[in-house]
Amino acid sequence: MFRFFKNRKDSNMKLIVGLGNPGREYVNTRHNAGFYVVEKLAYELGEDITERKYKGLFAKVRIGNEKAILLEPQTYMNNSGESVRAFMDYFKIEAKDVIVVYDDINLEPGNLRIRLKGSAGGHNGIKSLIAHMGTSDFPRVKMGVGEKPARMDLADHVLGHFNDEDKKKLDEAASHAIEAIKLMVDGQYDTAMNKYNVKKTK
């Protein structure tokens, strides 16, 4: 089924990265919004993210007519770039063909923001990717997880779980993120941004 992956050099291949932390204790935490989206996408495509390579779990898929790899780095968030860089090198994937999905505390739960490049904005996973990729010019889909409450430690907030209301918003946002990713894989970046970007962040 995946005979086309035997040729590693393929300029059309996309790498779709969900950021998060491995381990049962981190399932459904705010920081694992990226994992949640790529797992939901894999399920929709009838695949499981279970293959192991280069400190990551991955699945080989087709999205429309395009070849893609869904990746969950297993290095913990702060070292995500190690796995991503290794996959890029092995499959000869350029930064412009890497789509990263991750949590953003500056967006309310349920909101998305799609960008083609940008700074890390204080996100340690993105800092690691930029350091290992050598560029900040890669597309990303930011998943709103909400601002931390006053006097709460940031780590406690992002490693905390969604309440029932916010979980429903995440589910809806994840569905929108998947549709946005499909458009981006097809090269329709402007359409994805126009359709799914929120107009305002906190």
Give the mean pLDDT of 128-156: 87
Q: Name the β-bridge partners of 51.
A: 58
Q: How far apart, in whole angstroms, are the C-alpha atoms of residue 100 and residue 163?
A: 25
Pick out the residues of the known binding site for tRNA: 26, 76, 78, 124
- Average pLDDT, rounded, for the chain: 90
Residues with catalytic roles: 31
Per-residue pLDDT of 60-115, as tens digits, reads 999 999 999 999 999 999 999 999 999 999 999 999 999 999 999 999 999 999 99
Q: Name the β-bridge partners of 143.
A: 103, 112
Q: What percent of the chain has pLDDT over 70?
A: 87
For domain 14-197, the CATH architecture is: 3-Layer(aba) Sandwich (3.40)
**Where do the structural domains in the chain lie, given as residue ranges?**
14-197
Beta strands per DSSP E along 8-144: 14-18, 51-53, 56-63, 66-73, 98-104, 112-115, 140-144
Give the mean pLDDT of 42-67: 96
**Beta pairing class for 66-73 and 112-115:** unpaired
Give the mean pLDDT of 133-144: 97
pLDDT of residue 7: 53
192-200 contacts: CB < 8 A, separation 24 or more? 192/114, 193/114, 196/112, 196/114, 197/112, 197/113, 197/114, 198/107, 198/111, 198/112, 198/113, 198/144
Q: Compare 77 and 10 and report the one with higher pLDDT.
A: 77
Q: Under a CB-based contact definition with an 8 Å cutoff, are residues 189 and 183 in contact?
A: yes
What number of residues does the chain have?
A: 202
Q: Compare 158 and 83 and report the one with higher pLDDT.
A: 83
- Span of 75-79, 121-125, 196-200 with lowest mean pLDDT: 196-200
pLDDT of residue 198: 76
Q: How far apart, in whole angstroms, are the C-alpha atoms of residue 143 and residue 90?
A: 28
Q: Please tell me the pTM assigned to this model.
A: 0.90
Residue 71 three-state SS? strand
